[in-house]
Amino acid sequence: MTHALLVIDVQNDFCPGGALAVAGGDEIVSGINALMADYDAVLLTQDWHPAGHSSFASSHDGAAPMSVIDFPYGPQVLWPDHCIQGSHGASFHKDLNVDRADLIIRKGYNPDIDSYSAFFENDHITPTGLEGYCRTRGIDTLTLVGLATDFCVNYSAVDAAKLGFNVTVRQDLCRAIDFDGSLKAAQDGMSSAGVTLS
């Protein structure tokens, strides 16, 4: 059994002062760093949007940030512009131990499809390649930490469980947006999918 720590989107734009700040997002960094030595592998994800991404409210005339519209693959939250490729906001938090990472997987780079999950874009079909990496490394158990609990951590954890991985989410090392009851819905959905919430 090979156990990996999967660190989701600990980037400047999701930390206080960022374009899509998650309250307390920076508080989890030292705890995540402290965990890294306990795992066989450390995997990082990085939200990596081109400017003008279709999930940005600014790409839709008159649309307000945090509104929801229908995309070909289902409902899509329209976000403030965030994690634009090469920007300071897209960079990892300066205190995150990036050097410990075996793999950094970038997601959300397709301008037409948002990508919350570390495993699939939001069409739930297009893979990111992370599953294949884990299989070839013999990784069968994942512990997830990072930002935000109710979006990218949630989608990643549920997809990992559906793919047959043993999945735990360390809620103490995650922070949530909690948009319109999204945290409770995410917790319920993760539990139903077989994810262990600790």
Q: Tokens 């947006």 sit at which residue?
A: 177
- The answer to whether the CB of 125 falls within 8 A of the CB of 113 is no
How far apart are alpha carbons 7 and 14 in whole angstroms? 13
Q: Which residues are catalytic?
A: 9, 107, 152
How far apart are alpha carbons 174 and 167 in whole angstroms? 15
* Residue 24 neighbours by CB under 8 Å, 6+ apart: 16, 175
- The answer to whether the CB of 22 falls within 8 A of the CB of 151 is no
